[in-house]
Structure 1
Amino acid sequence: MELTAKQLDFLQKHHSAAMITIGRDGTPKAVRVGVALVDGKIWSSGTTDRVRTRTLRRDPRSTLFVFDERHAFLTIEATVTLLEGQDAPAANLRLFRVMQNRASGPLLWYGQELDEDAFLHRMAEEGRLVYEFAPTRAYGLA
């Protein structure tokens, strides 16, 4: 499904979200994440060893609850694709450039400024990947 212009505008302005996956026993599992639109696709970052990554390998369904500092929100039900492998550090670089609104130059990582090479090295070292969300349903106050 295609998101509306209003929904896309909300996603461009707001990067705070809760990501809900489905546990093995069917229980919803929620974590706070950052999200951003990269080339029109909804992305978030994770690592290969995270529980949510293992959960998504078993069941790729997820719900994002994107929110602002007031009361507006956008809920997106989606199927998640894991973008991993050799291209994952570069994908994370693109994602964090959007999230930090820095088209070039160093990026912040846990309070440190890292130049592009150091950032790419850190992403590879941490086993970072990107979660790409393909919306199946969206609703909310956005």
Structure 2
Amino acid sequence: MTNFSEDEIEFLRKNRSAAMITVDTAGVAKAARVGVALVDGKLWSSGTADRVRTRRLRRDPRCTLFVFNGTFLWLSVEATVTILDGPDAPELNLQLFRVMQGRATGPLTWFGSELDDAAFRTQMAEESRLIYEFEVVKSYGVVKAPSF
């Protein structure tokens, strides 16, 4: 389990939109929009082997996530990333997208199609999908509206 507060965990359960900030070889911060979710107490996101951010994370596994909800609430997560790209990556993606789509069973939506578990795993393998697992170093933000 990550070291998030109860309020941060509740915020992450409700909010999946984030920006992942990595650093290029010149030291310039680069942001990409990603989805995130807590899976069995671990913060995960999905990517592919050929993404630029994957290459950056293989060189330097540090990143910052900025999780937001479209209002003034937000959570910043400084983390070290482990890339899970072994033979179980399609199954790990299935687990992640079940959480992200709120579907414990049944087909998952993928670019307008409904895929059963076997077809979803095959699609993840064909896309060389992997999981970014975030080891939280520090988290901070405004995750709960103030009560007046």
Q: TM-score range by the shorter chain?
A: over 0.9
Q: Which has the larger radius of gyration?
A: 2
Question: May I ask how many residue pairs the two structures share in their alignment?
Answer: 142
Which structure 1 segments of 5+ residues have no match?
A: none
Deviations 1:65-86 (A, max 9, x none): 0000211000000000001120
Residue identity opposite 1:67 in structure 2: F
Correspondence for 2:36: 35
Shift of 1:92: 0.2
Q: How does 1:32-111 map to 2 (within 5 A)?
A: 32-111=33-112
**Segments of 4+ in structure 1 off by > 3 A?**
none
Provide the secondary structure at the position in 2 that maps to 1:19.
strand
Structure 1: how far apart are the matches of 2:95 and 2:72? 29
CA distance in 1, matches of 2:10, 2:135: 17
Alignment-derived partner of residue 25 in structure 2: 24
How large is the Cα RMSD of the aligned pairs?
0.8
- Structure 2 SS opposite 1:95: helix
Identity of aligned residues (%): 61
Tell me the distance in 2 between the aligned counterparts of 1:79 and 1:114: 32
Distance 1:134 1:85 in 2: 18
Give the TM-score of the pair, scaled to structure 2. Answer: 0.94
Residue number in structure 2 paired with 1:126 = 127
SS in structure 1 at match of 2:31 = strand
DSSP-derived class of the 2:33 partner: strand
SS of match in other structure, 1:134: strand
Note the alpha carbon deviations across 1:37-96, whole angstroms, 9 max, x for none: 000000000001110000000000000000002110000000000011200000000000
* CA distance in 2 between partners of 1:37 and 1:141 (Å): 18
Unaligned runs of 5+ in 2: 144-148
CA distance in 2, matches of 1:69, 1:114: 29
How high is the TM-score relative to the length of structure 1? 0.98
